[in-house]
Structure 1
Amino acid sequence: MHRLIPRARRSGLALHPLTLALLLATGNAFGDEPDTTSDGQPTVDALQTVTVTARRREENAQDVPTPITTLSGDTLDKQRIYKIQDLQQALPSVNVAYIHARQSSLAIRGIGNNPASDGLEGSAGIYLDNVYLGRPGMAVFDLMDIEQLDLLRGPQGTLFGKNTTAGVLNITTRKPTFTPESSIETSGGENGYFQGKGSVSGPLTDTLAGRLSLYRTRDDGYLNNLADGRTLLGGEREGVRGQLLFQPNDDFNLRWINEYNSENSSQGSGVIYGGSDLFWRRAALVGAHPVQGKSNIDGRQNVSVHQNASSVEANWNLNGGYKLTSISAYRYWHFNPANDSDELDVPVIRDLGYEIHDRQFSQEIRLASPTGGAFDYVVGAYAFRQSLNNRYFVNLGPLADLNLIGANLNALNNVSSTSKGWIDTDSFALFSQGTWHLTDKLDFTLGLRGTYEEKKAQVERSSPVGGAPVSGLPAAIRASQAGAYDSGDLSLHNAAPSALLSLSYRFDDNLLGYASLSHGEKSGGVNLTVGSAPSAGADSLLVGPERANDAELGIKSTLFDRRLQLNANLFWTGITGYQATTYYQPSGSLTGYQVLANAGDLRSRGLEFEATALPLRGLTLNFNGSFNDVTYLSFKDAPCPAEVSSQPNAPATCDLSGERVMGASRWIANLNGEYKWQLDNRFEPYVTASYAYRSEAEGTLDNSNLSKIPGYGLANFSVGLRHEVGDGLLDASLWVKNAFDKEYYQAVIASSNGLYVGYPGQPRVTGVTLRYDF
């Protein structure tokens, strides 16, 4: 039976100084002693302890000397955050560049904007139930039945390991329970929005419990296409997760998770965000009608995504307080698109895209020592195998020459081309991290990891198909753009160390100070498209490793009888060999390519702040924010912006040294709150509000004035009522997201002919949700 009584809520969010003024205005809300009822119970809730596994053992988040922001599953539900791209509305120092599942990336502190990199992992690692996701797109599904989400900032290579030079997003789903519980929820809203999800959990035998969770989401979209009246950026997603928990005694448990997710949508649809004079001239030449800020395309727009996964985690409690953990996992991901990439209402490029098949296997074994002595540690080994195949296809229309070349030579008209690439990755690591408790208050932590990685790859392009017979210059153009090519065998080998030095000091039971130095490395990669290879050689497809050095200084505090939590930290990170998706156009070529490259050296530094407060009975306030200065220290061979490159005698490259890094907002602030109160007959009304702000950012790697993303703020509100019905709790709410209908963009990319394509975020949507927990 659910009881509508005040209870602590877990949260890792934070509070702005402006909110402190609000807290002061509440009078004696934070007095030295909390008010109590006649039976001695506090009238104001206390913050509940949040447990994290940032050091691969369960600990109070306030005891871990590293910046962590935690969101509970309840918080995600209240703020209606169910997509990975919405997390930047709740987390500090985070940017999610989202186009579709393949072209998505998670950046932390401005590091990690690689939205189209089949042959390269992201700089920010994403883990789901302790399993590393080799592609950011593997996390593009509805966040279903989530227990907790942790954001760890800064290099986390010692214990999390695989390519985490920027940080880690650690997602934990709810486990099977031996106490029966179920939940069913349905939501409906504008633009045909519908979401249904549910879960059921309970014992199957005395030693075996199961959990089944599923969801289905659909909507009609919100981007109107002028050419034919289609509504884009809609579609449907569905998924199911089944789990078994075997626990014969207190010293052993085994959790087996199987899941499946799919998507069929028109994600990847964009608008004309900006264009050079060349783009507008070429569009006019073929009789197209592009409209700034609108979609006006004549081709198909669709993505199909399927993935399935299985993992087994076993834990043994050994004699002497030791704990042994084994995690074995497999994951398969398939992405298949259809794109009108010319953004025009005439047949220049009929279809273009990358189909991906990705399989990964991983095995981790670690041993955690008992705690309570002068020294404790975690040691382990990790193995990862990934096999990825992609197929790049482009089908050009009858107006390709006029638009791409500027004259009708019949070189590219009605020509089709197909390329195939594959990359196999084998990664092995040994790791250890130990903490010496030098005094009752002072701890010293040392962590070391050694990783060895091999990558083997190949890219080949078939001879072009279609088009009129040509010779001379048109034949040379066709060969350069779509001619047969084979890179031969490509390989990379990398041995990379990761290290951590940390000191923490416990000033008292409620105040922790810490300082740390860390080093992390991210392996190199391979461009799995022909791109630059015919003109620059096969070696131009290789990308070198990325290395990060980081320094942190911070405090964590819990005040006023656990009703106020304040955390803050300063950070400085230096990156060498920064890996990013650039735009390359070979000399004399008519079109360019998105390619991976080492973009140079950069520095990320700033301040992060977060707080949670319970100033009054029933009122919870959270705030987090960051100031982030991310600058290229050296980037002398950067691509030039379209307003420069489209001019006569334009330079081949530009120098962006000293300029801001793509996708990194200087200021990020997220504020949210909930107020609930009690009525007669155990009715509990509540209201929630949230506001997420981020300042302007560079939209593309060339820092073009045509691709800058303005700052914006998004407001969300809801009102609801909870009431006990039967043996369960009924929750009905009315909500609105992006309440002020703010126009904003989730990403911008550079295309051919000086075109910049923008991908708009969701406009205002209002809906209702009914949930029943029983």
Structure 2
Amino acid sequence: MVHRFLLTASTLATALLAGTAALAQDSTPPQDDPTVPQAESRSGEIVVTARRRSENVQDVPIAISVLAGEALDAQGAYNINRLTQLQPTLQFFSTNPRNTFINIRGIGAPFGLTNDGFEQGVGIYIDQVYYNRIAAATLDFVDVEQIEVLRGPQGTLYGKNTTAGAINITTRPPSFDFEGKAEISVGNLGFKQAKASVSGPFSDTLAARLSISSTDRRGTIYNVTTDTWINSQDNIGIRGALLWKPGADVRLTLSGDWNLQDPICCGQIYARVGTTQRALNRQYTALTALFPGYQVPSTNPFDRLTDLDADLSARNEHGGLSARLEWDLGPGTLTSVTAWRYWDWGPKNDRDFTGLPVYTKVNNPTKQNQYTQELRYAYAADKLDFVVGAFAFYQEIRTSGIQETGPAASAWLLAPSNALSRNPAVLNGIVAENDIRLDNLSLATFGKVNWKVTDRLTISPGVRVNYDRKDGVYDSVVTGTASDGTRQLITNDTTHPYYNDPWTAAQRGTQASQFFEPRFSDWNLSYDLNLSYELAHDVMAYATYARSFKTGGINLNGVPSRGDGTPALEVAQIKPEKVDHFEAGIKTQFWNRRGTFNITGFWTEIKDFQASVISNVSGSNVLRGYLANAEKVRVRGIEADFSVRPSDRLNAYLSGAFTDHEFRKFVDAPCPPELAGGATGTPPGPPATPGANSPANCDVSGQWLPGISKWAFSWGAEYNIPATVLGRQGQAYLGYDASYRSKFSSNASRSIYTDIDGYSVHNFRLGFRTDGFDLFGWVRNAFDEDYFESLAVTPGNTGLISAQLADPRTWGGTIRFSF
């Protein structure tokens, strides 16, 4: 296995190195071209703040990719989702803003189960403010100057501990020179997008910037039930900032933003049906036959038709205020970042994924407030520099959800052998009212030292001490109609007077009231050691070891019940992840910095990996998913980035990643659908055999992790020629960008029904630009590739697989002015 891994890694490195060798000749550096997907200066440098100070990215011994704001605009990457087409080791999966996962190198967040009680492994920072929930970072980019994607643990440099990496977004600051820009884009599917920003001084010491962005687009799925297009876009964002410079040594930036997404969204549609081990008369085909005349609009998901009958909404409002003080004190800079952010999530979902009224409401509106304070000092000298800091984070999340069943629930959810399944009133109108609360506190101190032992060798140790505390409440009150027509509590309490009522007994098998108050608190110590060595001018080698922790959590979506009906509190807590990370790489520039080639190898092992499991609590009468820990996970691979600018006319780039990934040991994982749905017993029956016994859980050791492609690439180029249009001198240009991902699993445990085949996406643009004007046409997914972003197993083991579809081919035009 190791030999195959090394051979594959060397093959990728050799292929990319061969491209650099042909270009290694001397020439004069070209002028800037902002369409290259890096933020290059005229000297070939890319200036980043990954280590909390400004420096050339080639001098930073971290695997890091940088995207300039101009390149993002040119390539239509106006949100985090679209970054995945430019970053091979960045994975983004979303069925709606709350059910969103972003991973780097395949790790960061558990796949497929939303739970407010755990942390992200990838940190999102906008202007140095930490965004704790990915849902609050699904905004359209507004006036972005640069995005840095840092891969690997970053806890000794950043405010919140992150075990997988960080995405550091910097917006354009207020300017003391009056400037502005505006752009309008229109396209098919009714696409309309407008952006504008203006900046300038109020005085010699005070400047301001105001930016706004609005996006609107018709949905890509037609709902025949409601005669509407769903999964639309309807976004608006406003950002403002004031910069006060009372002296040369002090800078105070006050920022505020407000964002609203209010689309008709989000529906997952019929993808396919697979056979499970449930009784044949309880699988999808037999269940739908119980409703004469019902038929799914299309069994081809790429017809983009659905018949979802519940209301859909994905209203996502978020914003906040921040104050950043930067004060130059002697040889260093003291920085304070104070921020408050809020998130108001108002969803409406159809969670039976059909046009039948099984569930008429599954809505979990959520409100969040978070407060952060970061204080750090960055010191720089000839032989020694360091960053020391402290970070405080407090978050409140309040969810008041409701779930309600409809008249089709009895036939869909009860066994046909139960006479009550033929009475729609039995399960109609079961209402679960959920009160879910989280108080989340995190405190940390951290530091990183860079000791320049010689002119070539630098040793950089780092350390972090972290304290985390989570206090939660889960209170679900479930009521239904008893056989005598009264509304009664559905409970596992055997002393309740209606416990043995046949209707409430049937309802209890669907859902019952539950209350518990989980808590978690712990200290942990993270540390890392980095060595970098300058092999030659513009050639640096580096190696890193990091011992990191992802804090533990609590289950806030309910837990299985024991045989006596009490909640299984032993699974209410989620243990911390323990990460051992090894990385080595080489960064090079050549041909007078016209060319850049970086290569990185990494090896990450995680103990107690936080993952989705299915109830294995003895005596539990309802299968229930929750978060627990896989014993051990390994992710390893190699990444390479190559870019070249042979002349003012042409630039090109190629990035690639090979990732080997597996559960090293995970013996109690949730079973895939082909091994689920039957009676729990031994021996388990053959996969996909109706009526066969099913294992209580499955050993998936040696299997793939979800969401990770073994191979991923992104590449592109742009060519321009001098041109004159309407008397204006400028450049005519043609640009091309593409990406490829190989097959990956889209289920927590790999299933024969949920692998997503590899696909490639190709984008083109053609335009004319001058210093202050840009007009271009674009086409994205130019070859109209049909592919799934995700596939999901729907509840109940009916065999129905739902799909989240990627965008079809889109095209349009953009006009942009600046002054």
Specify if TM > 0.5. Answer: yes
Counterpart of 2:552 (choices 501, 524, 539) is 524
Aligned to 2:758: 711
Task: State the 1:430 CA deviation.
Answer: 0.9
Q: Distance in 2 between matches of 1:121 and 1:185?
A: 37
Residue 416, structure 1, aligned to residue 431, structure 2: yes
User: 1:464 aligned to 2:479?
Assistant: yes
Q: Which amino acid aligns with 1:620?
A: N
The offset of 1:304, in angstroms, is 0.6
SS for the counterpart of 1:85 is helix
1: CA distance between counterparts of 2:642 and 2:14?
10
Are residue 765 (structure 1) and residue 814 (structure 2) matched?
no
Give 1:385's aligned residue.
394
Note if 1:214 corresponds to 2:177: no
State the partner residue of 1:251: 249
* Cα pair 2:159 2:374 within 8 Å, conserved: no
CA-to-aligned-CA distance 1:224-275 (integer Å, 9 cap, x gap): 2244442111131101001000112220001111000001113321112333
Q: CA deviation at 1:740?
A: 0.6
CA contact (8 A) 2:669 2:697 kept: yes
Give, as a single letter, the amino acid of the residue that structure 2 aligns with 1:663. Answer: G
Counterpart contact for 2:559–2:569, Cα < 8 Å: no
Residue 752 of structure 1: SS of its match in structure 2? coil
Counterpart pick for 1:674 among 704, 714, 718: 718
Match of 1:687 in 2: 734
Return the letter of the residue paired with 1:32. D
Partner of 2:468: 453
Task: Determine if the alignment matches structure 1 residue 104 to structure 2 residue 100.
Answer: yes
Q: In structure 2, give the amino acid aligned to 1:678.
A: P
Instruction: Tell me if the contact between 1:416 and 1:466 (Cα under 8 Å) persists in the aligned partners.
Output: no
CA contact (8 A) 1:624 1:670 kept: yes
**2:27 is matched with which residue?**
33
1:159 partner SS: coil
Q: Structure 1 residues 45 and 388 mapped into 2: Cα distance closer, same or farther (>3 Å)?
A: closer
Query: 1:589 deviation in Å?
Result: 7.3
User: CA 1:251/1:683 → structure 2, altered by over 3 Å: closer, same or farther?
Assistant: same
Shift of 1:746: 2.1
Q: 1:731 offset after TM fit, Å?
A: 0.8
Task: Select the structure with the greater relative contact order (CA < 8 A; seq sep ≥ 6).
Answer: 1
Amino acid at match of 1:548: V
Q: Which residue in 1 is equivalent to 2:777?
A: 734
Range moving further from structure 2, 69-78 or 155-164: 155-164
Q: How has the CA–CA distance of structure 1 residues 603 and 64 changed in structure 2, closer, same or farther, with 3 Å as cutoff?
A: same
Cα deviation per residue 1:407-463 (whole Å; 9 max; x = unaligned)?
444542221111111010111111111011111100101000000111111111124
2:709 is the alignment partner of 1:665: yes
1:513-570 CA distance string (max 9 Å, x none)? 0011001111111222224255651332221111211001100001000100000011
Q: Which of 284, 305, 311 is the equivalent residue of 2:322?
A: 311
1:298 aligns with one of 298, 309, 320: 309
User: What is the CA–CA distance in structure 1 between the aligned matches of 2:738 and 2:356, rounded to whole Å?
Assistant: 41
Whether the 8 Å CA contact 1:289–1:344 is kept in 2: the answer is no
In the other structure, the counterpart of 1:635 is 666
Structure 2 stretches lacking a partner, 5+ long: 1-11, 32-39, 276-282, 486-497, 679-691
Q: Is the CA contact 1:226–1:296 (under 8 Å) kept in the aligned structure 2?
A: yes
CA pair 112-22 structure 1, distance change in 2 beyond 3 A = closer
Helix, strand or coil at the partner of 1:577: strand
Is 1:54 the counterpart of 2:50 in the alignment? yes
AA matched with 1:733: F
> Within 2, Cα distance between the matches of 1:141 and 1:583?
33
Aligned twin of 1:696: 743
Residue 335, structure 1, aligned to residue 335, structure 2:
no
Question: Is residue 284 of structure 1 aligned with residue 289 of structure 2?
Answer: yes
Which residue is 1:5 aligned to?
Answer: none
Please tell me whether residue 80 in structure 1 is matched to residue 80 in structure 2. Answer: no
Residue 744 (str. 1) matches residue 787 (str. 2):
yes
TM-score by length of 2: 0.87
Q: TM-score, normalised to structure 1's length? A: 0.92
Deviation at 1:325? Answer: 0.4
Quote the offset at 1:643 in angstroms. Answer: 1.2
TM-fit CA distance, 1:465: 4.6
8 Å Cα contact 2:613/2:668 also seen in 1: no
8 Å CA contact 2:529–2:546 kept in 1: the answer is yes
Give the 3-state SS of the residue equivalent to 2:84 in structure 1. Answer: helix
Aligned to 1:3: none
Q: Take 1:119 and 1:35, find their aligned partners in 2: how far apart are those partners?
A: 51
Q: 229-238 or 628-637: which moved more? A: 229-238
Aligned to 2:578: 547
CA contact 1:557–1:565 (8 Å) conserved in 2: yes
Distance in 2 (alpha carbons) for counterparts of 1:535 and 1:714: 50
- The 2-side partners of 1:183 and 1:391 are apart by 42
Q: Write out aligned runs for 1:269-668 (5 A).
A: 269-277=267-275, 278-287=283-292, 288-290=294-296, 291-292=298-299, 293=301, 294-319=305-330, 321-372=331-382, 374-407=383-416, 408-409=420-421, 410-465=425-480, 469=485, 472-487=501-516, 489-533=517-561, 537-584=568-615, 592-647=623-678, 648-668=692-712
Aligned-partner Cα distance in 2 for 1:536–1:289: 39
2:259 pairs, out of 258, 261, 264, with 261
For 2:200, which of 195, 202, 220 is the aligned residue? 202
Instruction: State the 1:169 CA deviation.
Output: 0.9
Alignment partners' CA distance in 2, 1:504 and 1:678? 43
In 1, the alpha carbon distance for the partners of 2:694 and 2:71 equals 51
What SS does structure 2 have at the residue aligned with 1:719?
Answer: strand
SS at match of 1:157: coil
Instruction: Give the aligned partner of residue 7 of structure 1.
Output: none
Shift of 1:94: 1.1
Deviation string 1:274-300 (CA, Å, 9 cap, x unpaired) is 333323322333444234325222222
Decide which moves more: 343-352 or 399-408.
399-408
- Matched-pair contact (CA < 8 Å) for 2:467–2:523: yes
Report the alpha carbon displacement of residue 351 of structure 1 after superposing the two structures with TM: 1.5
Residue aligned with 2:415, SS = coil
Task: Please report how far the alpha carbon of residue 716 of structure 1 lies from its aligned counterpart in structure 2 after TM superposition.
Answer: 0.4
1:85-142 C-alpha deviation (Å, 9 max, x unpaired)? 1111001311101111100011111112435222212111111111111101111010
SS in 2 for 1:639: coil
Extract unaligned runs of 5+ from structure 1. Answer: 1-14, 38-43
- Amino acid corresponding to residue 167 of structure 2 in structure 1: L
CA contact 2:413–2:510 (8 Å) conserved in 1? no
Give the 3 Å change call, closer, same or farther, for CA 514–23 of structure 1 in structure 2: closer
After superposition, residues 217-236 of structure 1 pair within 5 angstroms as 217-236=215-234
SS in 2 for 1:444: strand
> Compared with structure 1, are the counterparts of its residues 535 and 279 closer, same or farther at alpha carbon in structure 2 (3 Å cutoff)?
farther
Post-superposition offset of 1:641: 1.0
Given that residues 150 and 169 in structure 1 are in contact (C-alpha distance below 8 angstroms), is that contact kept between their aligned partners in structure 2? yes
Matched residues in 1 for 2:780 and 2:621: separation?
A: 43
Secondary structure of the structure 2 residue equivalent to 1:86 = helix
Structure 1: how far apart are the matches of 2:155 and 2:26?
42
Q: Say which SS state the counterpart of residue 678 (structure 1) adopts.
A: strand
* Residue 582 to residue 261, structure 1, CA distance change in 2 (3 Å): farther
Give aligned pairs, total. Answer: 744
Please show how residues 99-138 of structure 1 align to structure 2 within 5 Å.
Answer: 99-114=95-110, 116-138=114-136
Question: 1:753 is paired with a residue of what secondary structure?
Answer: coil
Letter in 2 for 1:664: I
**Paired letter, 1:559:** F
1:167-192 residue CA offsets vs partner (Å, 9 max, x unmatched): 11111111101111101111011111
